[in-house]
Amino acid sequence: MAILKPMKRFTLILFLLICCSSGFAQSLETKTFLALFKAKELKEMKTSLRQIEAQFSSVFKTKTYSGNSELALFIEVPNCDFDECFLGEFLVDLENGKKQQLQAIAFRLFDLTTNQELHQESLAMYEDMQAKKKKDAKTTKHQSVSLSGPGH
């Protein structure tokens, strides 16, 4: 009987652990962040886009773009549950041995995943409004045609 009591506890704990973990388990999606930099500011801080990317590419998938506009760094973070504010708190090593938060170096930080979801919602609302306007216009046109029908 003494062996059964610990087994019951173990089974109960295991059952509760499985239930709790499955209840809290969520399929976290990959998030994509965009950090924009001004070349002049990077030069003043004595760092470059490549140096910043190198610090993130060891942990995350990254891609840089430079051209006629601001410098851009895309950071793809798998299975994360944080936002651009949390990413902005990451420390970046500068050439002079100092560390600076990403948000202090970057011109702007964007969570493209969240922005894409907001864009899709806005687009759906816009399309619904357009469909309603078309429906209202057809109803109004149909009513005006029936009012000015033959014999008037």
SS3 108: strand
114, with CB counted inside 10 A (0-12, 13-18, 19+), is middle
- Say how many domains are in the chain: 1
SS3 151: coil
Q: What is the pTM (predicted TM-score) of this model?
A: 0.59
Is-contact 56 62, C-beta < 8 A? yes
Asked if residue 146 belongs to a domain, the reply is no
User: Which CATH number does the domain housing residue 79 bear?
Assistant: 3.30.70
Ordered per-residue pLDDT tens for the chain, 152 residues: 455 566 666 555 655 556 555 445 454 578 888 899 999 998 888 889 999 999 888 888 999 988 777 899 999 888 777 777 888 888 888 887 888 888 899 988 888 887 777 767 777 887 888 888 788 777 776 666 555 555 55
SS3 22: helix
- CA proximity to 42, closest of 82, 77, 94, 83: 94
Residue 75 host element (H or E): strand 71-77
Residue 43 host element (H or E): helix 39-44
The range of the structural domain enclosing residue 58 comes to 31-115
Asked if residue 74 belongs to a domain, the reply is yes
Asked if residue 133 belongs to a domain, the reply is no
